[in-house]
Amino acid sequence: MVILLLMWTIISVPLVKYSIPIQIFLLTLLACVPVQGQTIQFSLHVASSLDATKDQDMDFETIVAGTGIHDINLGDTGMGVFAITGDDDLDVIVSMIPPANLANTGISGDVIPFTLKFAYANRGSNDINQAIEVNGGTARFQIRQRTGGPAGAPPTPPSNNYTPSQSTAYIYVYGSLNVGSVDAGTYAGIVQLSVIYD
pLDDT at 76: 92
Give the CATH number for residue 60. Answer: 2.60.40
Residue 140 covered by a domain? yes
Residue 157 covered by a domain? no
Sign of CA dihedral 135, 138, 140, 141: positive
Residue 150 covered by a domain? no
| Cα separation, 113 vs 157, whole angstroms | 45
Residue 153 covered by a domain? no
- Report, as an integer, the average pLDDT of 162-190: 87
The three-class DSSP label of residue 44 is strand
Residue 152 covered by a domain? no
| Cα separation, 27 vs 8, whole angstroms | 7
Residue 20 covered by a domain? yes
Q: Does residue 37 or residue 120 have the better pLDDT?
A: 120
State the residue range of the domain holding 77. Answer: 3-145+164-197
pTM: 0.70
Q: Does residue 10 or residue 142 have the better pLDDT?
A: 142
Residue 48 covered by a domain? yes
9, 173 contact by CB (below 8 A): no
CA angle 112, 118, 124 (to 5 degrees): 150
Residue 174 covered by a domain? yes
Number of independent structural domains in the chain? 1
- Candidates 154, 165, 30, 160; CA nearest to 85 is 165
